[in-house]
Amino acid sequence: MTGSLVLAVESSCDETGIAVIEDGRRIHANVVASQIALHAPTGGIVPEVAARAHLRWIVPVLDEALQAAGVTPRDLDAVAVTYGPGLAGSLLVGINFAKTLAWAHGKPLVAVNHLEGHVYAGWLLDPGEAEREAPPFPLVALVVSGGHTFLAEMHDHLSYRLLGQTVDDAAGEAFDKVGRLLGLGYPGGPAISRAAEGAVARDRAFPRAWMRDTFDLSFSGLKTAARRIIATARADEGLPADEREGELPAAVTAELAWGFQDSVVDVLATKTIRAAEAIGARGIVLGGGVAANTELRARISGEAEARGLALVIPRPGLCTDNGAMIGAAGARRFAAGARAGLDLDARPSLPLAR
Ligand code: KG4
Ligand code: ZN
């Protein structure tokens, strides 16, 4: 390793992630301790439980990351950490850990916006992966996660203009909610995607909120419609209203999952392509947990290819929360001169564009 080495810490939500990244792109280690199993019984994240789990796992995750990368803290050029947006208690675990590490080893500390991390996942290269071109500017970034959904325009590194965002729920939140209504468990996104693969009939229509000519998005109406459509389907099958009391036949669940997913994918893909055309983009970058969705990836791939737009969608493991994406953004910030003090505090509502 000859380039600059950044160790990055991510703990904003329910994944404890620590990565070692070289020159802002090459992953040397990317260890993620997921809390999915921990939160599954409650069907969602309990902040207090999440913060404690970060505390429990952050040291073993660091040990594993250093070992996997074959480095010691002495070899590092900087320590990067997510300082927002996210759950305050969870963020504070990572921030205090990163501060301690930076202070104890005399390394600079770099504060990273989690949303910028989701965008910069598009620049990452796996260990052993062949070099490939970085996403070309100008580009449109679509970030779709459990907490955020927006389209931003980038003409250069670290600079964003918000084109549109959800006016209510995040796309991932809608997936999680509808997954629960379908009795598919937590998190709903991957479960709906899997269920939808089994759909034979693909004619269950769910509404689309086009938000007129803006690049804004809305998913709360779809969520309400889904609740009504699922209730009707349950009544048709003679099932009680409560999704915990009896399952819909698998074929019906599959059709409903498909219909819901199709609506989300249609709106996200259409708006992203329109945004790219509107700003004369050369490329598109996708990030965030929902970008792991197979249908969304396929649909945007097809449309981008037809228009000669370069498209970068990180592999699914780099779309969901991880330390590597924080390392990619952190390395850029570090190279641009960003340094955080030991008074760095969590910013639970930090926006991407200021
Ligand atoms: O980026 P992320 O890991 O955490 C946040 O920053 O929110 O995103 C998690 C979200 C969850 O809502 C989850 O249901 C959704 O991403 N998700 C998916 C898929 N995998 C994860 N949504 C649709 N299809 C998937 N395959
Ligand atoms: Zn995220």
Helix (H) or strand (E) holding 6: strand 5-10
For residue range 14-32, list pLDDT tens digits in order: 899 999 999 999 999 999 9
The pLDDT value given to residue 43:
80
> Residues near 126 by Cβ (< 8 Å), separated by ≥ 6?
27, 315
Q: How far is the CA of 74 from the centre of ligand 1 (A)?
A: 35
145 lines ligand 1 (CB under 6 A): yes
The pLDDT value given to residue 353:
74
Residue 38 contacts residue 53 (beta carbons within 8 Å): yes
The pLDDT value given to residue 341:
98
Helix (H) or strand (E) holding 281: none
> In the chain, pLDDT over 90 holds for what percent of residues?
92
Distance CA(195)–CA(9), nearest Å, equals: 33
The pLDDT value given to residue 296:
98
43 lines ligand 1 (CB under 6 A): no
Q: How far is the CA of 143 from the centre of ligand 2 (A)?
A: 9
State mean pLDDT over 115-141. Answer: 96
For residue range 156-194, list pLDDT tens digits in order: 999 999 999 999 999 999 999 999 999 998 899 999 999
Which of the four pLDDT bands, split at 50, 70 and 90, describes residue 36? confident
Which of 143, 145, 260, when mutated, tests ligand 1's pocket best, judged by the most ligand atoms within 8 Å of its CB? 145
For residue range 108-127, list pLDDT tens digits in order: 999 999 999 999 999 999 99
Question: Among all ligands shown, which has an atom nearest to the Cα of 188?
Answer: 1
293 lines ligand 1 (CB under 6 A): yes
Which of the pair, 291 or 34, is modelled with greater confidence?
A: 291
Residue 171 contacts residue 29 (beta carbons within 8 Å): no
DSSP E strand boundaries for 67-178: 78-84, 109-113, 139-144, 149-156, 159-165
The pLDDT value given to residue 3:
85
The pLDDT value given to residue 249:
96
State mean pLDDT over 34-55. Answer: 88
Which class for 247: exposed (0-12), middle (13-18), buried (19 or more C-beta within 10 A)?
Answer: middle
Q: How far is the CA of 224 from the centre of ligand 2 (A)?
A: 24
The pLDDT value given to residue 39:
85
Using CA atoms, how far residue 273 sits from 150, 267, 284, 314, 325, in Å, is 13, 10, 8, 18, 24
Q: How far is the CA of 111 from the centre of ligand 2 (A)?
A: 16
Distance CA(29)–CA(18), nearest Å, equals: 8
Q: How far is the CA of 91 from the centre of ligand 1 (A)?
A: 19
CA–CA–CA angle 224, 227, 233 (5° rounding) = 145
Residue 211 has pLDDT above 60, yes or no: yes
292 lines ligand 1 (CB under 6 A): yes
pTM of the full predicted structure? Answer: 0.96
Q: How far is the CA of 205 from the centre of ligand 1 (A)?
A: 23
Which of 112, 320, 321, 322, when mutated, tests ligand 1's pocket best, judged by the most ligand atoms within 8 Å of its CB? 320
The pLDDT value given to residue 194:
97
Mean of the per-residue pLDDT values of the chain: 96
The pLDDT value given to residue 201:
84
- Name the strands in the sheet holding 109-113, side by side, starting at the edge strand that comes first in the sequence: 26-34, 15-22, 5-10, 78-84, 109-113
13 lines ligand 1 (CB under 6 A): yes
82 lines ligand 1 (CB under 6 A): no
For residue range 229-287, list pLDDT tens digits in order: 999 999 999 999 998 899 999 999 999 999 999 999 999 999 999 999 999 999 999 99
The pLDDT value given to residue 354:
57
State mean pLDDT over 43-70. Answer: 94
The pLDDT value given to residue 41:
85
